Structure 1
Amino acid sequence: MTTQGPDAPFALARFRDGEGTVLGLVAGDRIRALGPDDLGAADLNSFLATGEWGRLARLVDVDGPWRPLADVTLTAPVEPRQVLQAGANYRTHVIQLAIAGMTRRDSGLSEEEARARAERAMDARAASGRAYVFIGMPACVVGDDEPLVLPAGSEQHDWELELAAVIGSRAFRVTPEEAPAHIAGYTIVNDITTRDLAFPADIGGLGADWFRSKNSPGFLPTGPFLVPAGFVDPSDLRVRLDLNDRAMQDATTAELVHDVAHIVSTASHTLPLLPGDLILTGSPAGNGQHWGRFLQDGDVLTGSITHLGTQVVRCVADTGDPAA
């Protein structure tokens, strides 16, 4: 249960209320429900399109129906219509993978030669200005109030903690310089991946199968907070994931090959980005594939990013019961 808000003057969250979900304003260890009159908009995505955060800032010091944050159950703070994901976007992580791949193929390269080749390739990628972006499924976005069900049939379910940008006003064919004006805020996403489904042998080496490997139910635990972009400098945030209290990923967004603005710009040149959409920025080194240790029943994933709070995801085995 979340008891403390993010390290920001205020943020948005969504919480369970009976059979429904309510949008709330979080300030410290308090939360209050927000309605259309508070937002000046019909719903969350309509509000994000306006960017009128000042309306909410004025509510922080107003007496009203505040409740202790510890008394509510938070769920995913966003309702995206589209999810776009940047891959291979942390320099150290990709260089490590490239070195392992080159040396594993018995290429005759020493580790030093492989590293130099990998670093040149990463420099060329960064200079291109174009991020590698693929599609996720909005139906996979859940809060950390839901357990992560590990699908039966594989023992290679993996974690990838990521900074995610949330789109504000519609963005279509924007430049990297224009992109920040279209980012409403930031949140935490864990991009869960089933590794042995990612590059299936039965399709003749045609490429990656991101649909099957990344889109099982609940494979995008998100939140618990949406922090306004004005409170976050995305260029140097600490991204840390602990598995059962052991640090597995610990890096900063200073290692991003393509920064958030370039990722948003790249994605926007293919399709319009809509208010509330999630743009994932990639994951640093230290996933389960690196450690040779994948997710198991009973595991607890604790992910945190500077200013954005902490996400706690509990893993459970697939019982085979669709209603479970």
Structure 2
Amino acid sequence: MTDLAPWALGQLSSDDGSFVGVVVGAAVRDLRADAEHFPGVDLTARTATRGLLETWDTARPVLEHLATERDTGRWHPLDDLRVLAPLQPRQILQAGANYRKHVIDLAVSHADIANGRTEDEVREQTAAMMDARRAEGIPYFFIGLPSAITGPYDDVTLPGYSDRHDWELELAAVIGRETFRVGPEAALDHVAAFVVVNDLTTRDLVFRRDMPEIGTDWFRSKNAPGFLPLGPWLVSSAFVPDPQSVHLTLTLNGQVMQDESAADMLFTVAELVSAASQTTPLLPGDLVLTGSPAGNGAHWGRLLRDGDVMESTITGLGTQRTRVVAEASRA
């Protein structure tokens, strides 16, 4: 399941329906038989994990105990079950331009190197800009749609209106209690869990060419159905004491494309959660995406094609596997 956590939380389905389960290694405890421990939570609903997060302070110790009760008949082989997206959030806050190396690479790719500046000069100037932003600036956020979420092993259809679809592996923080205007020093106390996200992007729709003065269009470029593979598991923040120490790796057809530590973030997870909470109350089950490291397809000059397979791994959180398929012709 993971290389770090003794247990995690997942949303699964079998022949008799969907349910939330505690995952330990290659086994899953079906929590439907433990309903008396979680009053008011419908453990068969797709919102079950969100219901547990709403009472996380009391639910987490119970889940820890149930994870150790291995002698009951409530455990099932993971291979017999379908793994669904582990969460249906209300809000998705997405941080952009939050990895130093990624931003520097983007600056080089967009710079006019032949117009008086060398690549080294662009890198040096961008690095100085990042230092200034880190010292004096604030995180950059936009909003995603929950309808873009799909499961960690589901195929994703690439919309036919573009051939410039890209990957963006990200660490996401899962909010565990209402969070409004908290400081960075207390922000991680409001994070219940962490989860793997691949924030797919249609590159040629990021900027509005018809109205360049309004800048980016994240709605069209990031919210197609399935463009937010999520999971496989929610891993308690107790098992991730330092989110800046995790490592993110994405492979495309077996070739490593992204391979970076979260230490390269410009603003830490705590700073991002705090910053997002200054504007809007964050609710249990909300996701705060923390940006993507260097190594996107735009950097490699190799975007997604029909049949490509991405495997996305973050230390201790598991691995998701996503195959992309071209949209059928609409002729």
Q: TM-score, normalised by structure 1?
A: 0.93
Residues 193, 236 of structure 2: 8 Å contact kept: yes
Q: Distance in 1 between matches of 2:75 and 2:137?
A: 45
Q: Distance in 1 between matches of 2:123 and 2:2?
A: 41
Give 3-state SS (helix, strand or coil) of 2:67's partner. Answer: coil
Residues 131, 266 of structure 1: 8 Å contact kept: yes
2:297 matches 1:291:
no
Q: Distance in 2 between matches of 1:134 and 1:259?
A: 17
Give 3-state SS (helix, strand or coil) of 1:177's partner. Answer: helix
2:171 matches 1:163:
yes
* 1:96 shift after superposition: 1.6
CA deviation map 1:59-98 (0-9, x unaligned)? 1221221011111110111110011100001111111212
Q: Distance in 2 between matches of 1:97 and 1:13?
A: 35
Q: Which residue of 2 aligns with 1:246?
A: 255
* 1:228 shift after superposition: 0.1
CA deviation map 1:139-165 (0-9, x unaligned)? 111112321100002110100000001
Q: Distance in 1 between matches of 2:244 and 2:40?
A: 31
40 and 11 in structure 1: CA distance in 2 versus 1, 3 angstrom threshold:
farther
Q: Which amino acid aligns with 1:276?
A: G
Q: Distance in 1 between matches of 2:109 and 2:49?
A: 44
Q: Distance in 1 between matches of 2:250 and 2:5?
A: 20
* 1:17 shift after superposition: 2.9
Q: Which residue of 1 aligns with 2:124?
A: 116
* 1:211 shift after superposition: 0.3
Q: Which residue of 1 aligns with 2:325?
A: 316
Match of 2:83 among 71, 74, 82: 74
Q: Which residue of 2 aligns with 1:301?
A: 310
Q: Distance in 2 between matches of 1:304 and 1:86?
A: 19
Q: Which residue of 1 aligns with 2:20?
A: 23
* 1:130 shift after superposition: 1.8
Give 3-state SS (helix, strand or coil) of 1:146's partner. Answer: coil
Q: Which residue of 1 aligns with 2:44?
A: none
Residues 11, 49 of structure 2: 8 Å contact kept: no
Which structure 1 residue ranges, 4+ long, deviate > 6 Å from structure 2? none
Q: Distance in 1 between matches of 2:246 and 2:302?
A: 26
Q: Which amino acid aligns with 2:90?
A: R
Q: Which amino acid aligns with 1:299?
A: D
Q: Which runs of 5+ in 1 are unaligned?
A: none
Residues 195, 232 of structure 2: 8 Å contact kept: yes
Q: Distance in 2 between matches of 1:115 and 1:103?
A: 12
Give 3-state SS (helix, strand or coil) of 1:181's partner. Answer: helix
* 1:189 shift after superposition: 0.3
Match of 1:58 among 54, 65, 86: 65
2:41 matches 1:34:
no
Q: Which residue of 1 aligns with 2:45?
A: none
Q: How does 1:165-180 map to 2 (within 5 A)?
A: 165-180=173-188
Give 3-state SS (helix, strand or coil) of 1:134's partner. Answer: strand
Q: Distance in 2 between matches of 1:89 and 1:139?
A: 24
Q: Distance in 2 between matches of 1:289 and 1:184?
A: 33
Q: Distance in 1 between matches of 2:37 and 2:182?
A: 30
Q: Which residue of 2 aligns with 1:193?
A: 201
Q: Distance in 2 between matches of 1:278 and 1:6?
A: 23
Residues 49, 86 of structure 2: 8 Å contact kept: no
Q: TM-score, normalised by structure 2?
A: 0.92
2:9 matches 1:12:
yes
Give 3-state SS (helix, strand or coil) of 2:244's partner. Answer: coil
Q: Once the two structures are aligned, what percentage of the paired residues are identical?
A: 49
Q: Which runs of 5+ in 2 are unaligned?
A: 42-47
Query: What is the Cα-based RMSD across aligned positions, in Å?
Result: 1.6
